Structure 1
Amino acid sequence: MGAWGPAISSNDTYADIYSEFFDLYNDGLEVTDISKKLIDENQDTINDTDDCNNFWFALAKAQWECRQLDETLLNRVKEIIETGADLEVWRNLEAEEKDIKKRKVNLEKYLTALQTERPKAKARKKKIIRQPVFEKGDCLTFKLENGNYGGAVVLEAIKDTEYGHNLIATTRINQANKPTKKDFENASVLLINYGNWDNKEMIQWYLPIRHKKIANQIETVDNMEVQIEYDINDSMDGFVADFDIWIVQVADQQFESEKTKPLLNNNRTIKEVTKKKKWQFWK
């Protein structure tokens, strides 16, 4: 369920469905087509008695904002609320009584809003197309807390998208002299094992939402060839928006941790994540 409060929108499912609805809406899809797509693709949630109400609440609110609230959906939501079915879910999940009371008030306000016609449909937003801040193959350096230089390599640059993603591999570079292209080519990918991390490889998609505050602390030393093409849609790597926290500070914390907690030497090299494997033939 992933609830963080009794408000209608205060849970992961509602937030995800509502956000995806308007992503598709802003892409130009029709409300009926969006609704069908979301229903078809979220059958697991719809069949989950603890979470299905949040799905229908989000879909109904999104349709209402577009002035295209389906009557069948409105009746479904109305029944969920008026029969107390949603409050029963909260009780079964052992929510505190004070939160259940707040939820009840929020449900009633929500239903009243749905039954009131919105003055005009929500306008579609024109998406801003952004470019990544780094080029594929860029070798980036920055100062670490210990006064040494750290480094990262840009494995991919996704252009002409809403966010401008870069896939960045943080390296184990930790040296007094500014790293050269050769240093990057011979480096290994940083693994972290401090705290609760269990040898996590630090390759992440970077969204430069707050890049301006850190831009002057990053220097592009050189550019290296990256033969591998990385597809963001097929990637299991995480997404981060703070270069200073998820790249610089993480490297700082790992190197500090290794003073007392050694790291097993099983890192992939930068060559392994940039070069295509050559076929080998044996007789």
Structure 2
Amino acid sequence: MAIDGVKIIDSDDGHDIYNAIVEQYKDGVSIDTIISEILSEEQNFCTDEFYTEIYWTAVAYSLWKIGRLTADIKQKALDIIAQSPHEFWLEIDDKAPKQRQKVLDKLAVQLQSENPKPLKVRKSKTKREPHFKVGDVLAVKFKDNYGAIFVSDVDLSPRKIEYHLACTRLLQADKPSMDDFLNSQICCRKDNTNFGIDTDCWFTHKDLGVLLDDLEIIGTVELYPCKLWKLAPTGTLEDIYNEITDEPRRGRLRLIDTYELVKEVIQK
């Protein structure tokens, strides 16, 4: 774990904890669910006394930041703070223990009173509906030909809608049918029934909306669970085309039959 400084979230674990709590809160997840999930990770984070200090101070600070600190978590953090900084801070820097103590003292004061300016969740004025759902199979119209892709994931929250579009290697003159899609191939890592899709395009709701005239649902499938190995953001029709036609990259990746990813064809 990287330690960038002595502040409460100046570490990989601290950042992970803060993001898990604050980002979910912004997305409208219930506070009971957020607390339950982060506490269920205690054993994973608290592998020794040093990481226990990191965990409980980050959890308490994050909940205080959103104005939802509970009495039991506050007390747990205060008990940790009362023990003074762990001796491992000295191995990071000879000045770190003293600097960390100042940070902990400030946190103790904060935790014993409510945050006067807690983070607020902005409510969306309009409810947006996603353009597509997971499992939708899409024909993509390029200038001179067609491709076939499918929606592998939709990240839906009050603040955003993002889509992961998995690109098969199919490219042909006519609009593809579901049979064409099922008989195509895709760059994908396979381990028994576990799949990792290598040709994944990530679109925002706005960027994908610009391309709707070039996309047409030709069917729907139920997919086996798929991990997404490529998570680089994209935003144009050209990005999809490049995923389909990237021949040099194709030589370094394994091709499988697309139908292997399909658990069931729901609609043709």
- Bin for the TM-score computed over the shorter chain: 0.5 to 0.7
Residue 59 of structure 1 deviates from its aligned partner by 1.6
Return 5+ residue gaps in structure 2 as ranges.
Answer: 190-194
Output one character per residue of 1:50-70: Cα deviation in whole Å (capped at 9) or x when no partner: 422222112211332316453
TM norm structure 2: 0.65
- Number of residues of Structure 1 aligned to a counterpart in Structure 2: 248
Contact 2:156–2:162, Cα closer than 8 Å, also in 1: no
| Secondary structure at the counterpart of residue 16 of structure 1 | helix
Runs of 4+ in 1 over 6 A off after TM superposition: 98-101
Output one character per residue of 1:134-160: Cα deviation in whole Å (capped at 9) or x when no partner: 4511123568xxxx9784512356486
CA distance in 2, matches of 1:56, 1:98: 22
Q: 1:202 aligns with which of 193, 198, 204?
A: 198
TM norm structure 1: 0.62
Q: Give the alignment of 1:209-228 within 5 angstroms.
A: 211-212=206-207, 216=210, 220-228=214-222
**Which residue of 1 is the match for residue 116 of structure 2?**
119
Output the amino acid matched with 1:268: I
Output the amino acid matched with 1:269: D
CA distance in 1, matches of 2:217, 2:95: 58
| Secondary structure at the counterpart of residue 8 of structure 1 | coil
| Secondary structure at the counterpart of residue 165 of structure 2 | strand
Residue 271 of structure 1 deviates from its aligned partner by 3.0
**Which residue of 1 is the match for residue 165 of structure 2?**
168
Contact 2:203–2:235, Cα closer than 8 Å, also in 1: no
**Which residue of 2 is the match for residue 29 of structure 1?**
31
Contact 1:208–1:241, Cα closer than 8 Å, also in 2: no
| Secondary structure at the counterpart of residue 170 of structure 1 | strand
| Secondary structure at the counterpart of residue 139 of structure 2 | strand
| Secondary structure at the counterpart of residue 9 of structure 1 | coil
CA distance in 2, matches of 1:138, 1:187: 13
Q: Which segment is superposed worse, 40-49 or 116-125?
A: 116-125
What is the percentage of aligned positions where both structures have the same residue? Answer: 19
| Secondary structure at the counterpart of residue 19 of structure 2 | helix
**Which residue of 1 is the match for residue 12 of structure 2?**
12
Matched, 1:39 2:39: yes
**Which residue of 1 is the match for residue 228 of structure 2?**
237
Contact 1:180–1:221, Cα closer than 8 Å, also in 2: no
Contact 1:2–1:11, Cα closer than 8 Å, also in 2: yes
Contact 1:157–1:166, Cα closer than 8 Å, also in 2: yes
